[in-house]
Structure 1
Amino acid sequence: MSSEEQRIAYADQGWCLAPRTLGQDALAKVRSSVRAIAATERPEVVYEEGTRTVRALHGCHRYDEVCAELVRHPVLLDLAEALIGGPVYLYQFKVNIKSPRQGRKWPWHQDYAFWAHEDGMPEPDAVNIALHLDEVHESNGPLTVLTGSHTLGLVTTGGTARGRDWQDHVSARLTHTIPEDEIPALTAKFPPRSLLGPAGTVAAFHPSIVHSSTDNTSADRRAVLLLTYNSVTNTPTRLTRPAFLVDPDSTPVRRLANALT
């Protein structure tokens, strides 16, 4: 698929799969770093509520060299720039981890609801790049998108918006959710698609696309690394959340030379 075909698919569907994957050497380095970070005690490590089971890691690029290099990897950065249509900076870095039979769901929501209401991002002129660190299959809680729902703009949400602790933006009690009674009508109009694939798979999805994921009911871990690249012309107007959750540095990302494949 050419860059132009990617842009067309993304504009139409609100998501697309990248023609390139992250190579095994690079993937192994990232997995090793993620494993080490998940074992540390630091504010950026978030747990499933009431447990010591890691749910997510945030802002790893700010303190881990491997993660910092990944932000600049051509497989990811080229895709982001092609879909945004110009220079980008790294807005968010996170790893969502669903441990076997313990990883909990992410309710139906739109990412842009958080970025607009919490951070004052002017437009949804950003893109999420998802990198599978594990094989993602139907039973380990895949990310499911409603194809074409990004065209709706912001849907009325069930959250209480600003003023809540940032932890409520990353837990199973997610702020800015879409009420469950609205989901049947949305899924009837916008076909659900689970983003499946082996480790190394790369996909992109729009900030306004409606998406969710289920509990991990399998014996397999499901870790997905998510890089949000924002247009350098679309910086937020208020940054009140921690820097590891929303990076304040809007310096354009430069391509990594001699990247591992």
Structure 2
Amino acid sequence: MIETDDGHLAELIAEYEENGWCHSPFRFTGPAVSLLRDSLDAICRRGGPEVVHEPDSTAVRAVHGCHEFDEAYAALVRHPYLLALAEALTGTPVYVYQFKVNLKQAREGQAWPWHQDFAFWNAEDGLPTPAAVTLAVPLDDVHEGNGPLMLIPGSHHVGYLGPGKITRGDSGDWRKNFAADPEHVMDDARAQELIGTFGSTRATGPAGTIQAFHPNIVHSSSDNTSPDRRALLMVSYNSIDNAPPHPTRPEFLVGRNTDQLKPRWDDHLPLERVP
């Protein structure tokens, strides 16, 4: 098991508070990533209401709530290290608010526009505050050609910039926000202003790495123009005192069990230090 009392959590907290983003010195091993990737492939084949496709395509764009029915993902969200990191960055006990894997299939995966996650969560679910954190684990190697996240470090200091573009009206179709033209996105000119102030960076790296993102950091991703798939697993942990009062989106999008999540070690999901 990985010990978390070696002082690195304090360094990650400082990095996270400064940049709205931090990169753990640990990652999941190759066998652990293979296990998670196999589960993802099985879920994509099985289909279901949790699976979203690219527009007018059979290519899977995202899957949601897999931790509720898949053994490997149920173990992942309870991983002692992930919970310790989430609790350190939020400063509170947490539960799983949202679980998803965003995919960009080879040469088919489409971009995500500039946005803040809290814009969606506040507008769609009534999440009171951004007292949450998203831990991201790529299940494929991520490089500049297969649609990595583009981040504006420090943009979370600007705070919540508003709900952005509203295009759905009263249709109530939650899938709209997982298509190529979602709601609550940021005007590109505003994003470029922020880049002029804070700069930008791409979240590239090998499969299994662990990164954390603030709900208010401004980010986007490009089309996948490469022959390599990009699957990015994201667990959004929320403070148990910050649950939305009356969520209406499906439970596989918005977790209803707001009890503090308890850690549980699984030998199939070991970590190793990043070289």
Offset of residue 154 of structure 1: 1.6
Residue 166 (structure 1) aligns with = 174
Tell me which stretches of 4 or more aligned residues in structure 1 moved more than 6 Å: none
For residue 226 of structure 1, what is the aligned residue in structure 2?
A: 234
SS, match of residue 130 in structure 1: strand
- 1:181 Cα offset (Å): 2.2
Q: Give the counterpart letter for 2:256 in structure 1.
A: P
- 2:169 and 2:89 map into 1 onto residues whose CA distance is 30
Measured in 1, the distance between the counterparts of 2:194 and 2:148 equals: 19
The one-letter code sitting in structure 2 at the alignment partner of 1:250 is T
| TM-score of the two chains, using structure 2 as the length reference | 0.92
Deviation at 1:132, TM superposition (A): 0.9
State whether structure 2 residue 110 is matched by structure 1 residue 82. no
Q: Which residue of 2 aligns with 1:5?
A: 11
CA distance in 2: counterparts of 1:234 and 1:243, whole angstroms: 17
For normalisation by structure 1, the TM-score amounts to 0.96
Cα deviation digits, residues 140-180 of structure 1 (max 9, x gap): 00011101011111214122476341011111111100012
Paired amino acid for 2:261: V
Consecutive unaligned residues in structure 2, runs of 5 or more = 1-6, 271-275
Post-superposition Cα deviations, 1:94-152, rounded to whole Å, max 9, x if no partner, equal 00110110000001000001111111111100000000100000110001110101111
What code does the residue aligned with 1:208 have? N
**How far apart, CA to CA, are the structure 1 residues paired with 2:37 and 2:124?**
30
Q: Distance in 1 between matches of 2:266 and 2:185?
A: 41
Give the aligned partner of residue 259 of structure 2: 251
Q: Which of the residues 148, 157, 162 maps onto 1:151?
A: 157
Give the gaps of 5 or more residues in structure 1. Answer: none
Q: Does residue 53 of structure 2 align to residue 63 of structure 1?
A: no
2:243 to 228, 235, 245: 235
Question: Would the aligned equivalents of 1:110 and 1:209 in 2 still touch at CA under 8 Å?
Answer: yes
Q: Distance in 1 between matches of 2:265 and 2:65?
A: 22
CA distance in 2, matches of 1:255, 1:162: 40
Which amino acid counterpart does residue 103 of structure 1 have in structure 2? G
CA contact (8 A) 2:75 2:265 kept: no
Question: Percent sequence identity over matched residues?
Answer: 47
2:223 aligned residue: 215
Aligned 8 A contact 2:126 2:244 in 1: yes
SS of the counterpart of 1:39? helix
Distance verdict in 2 for CA 1:162–1:247, change over 3 Å = farther
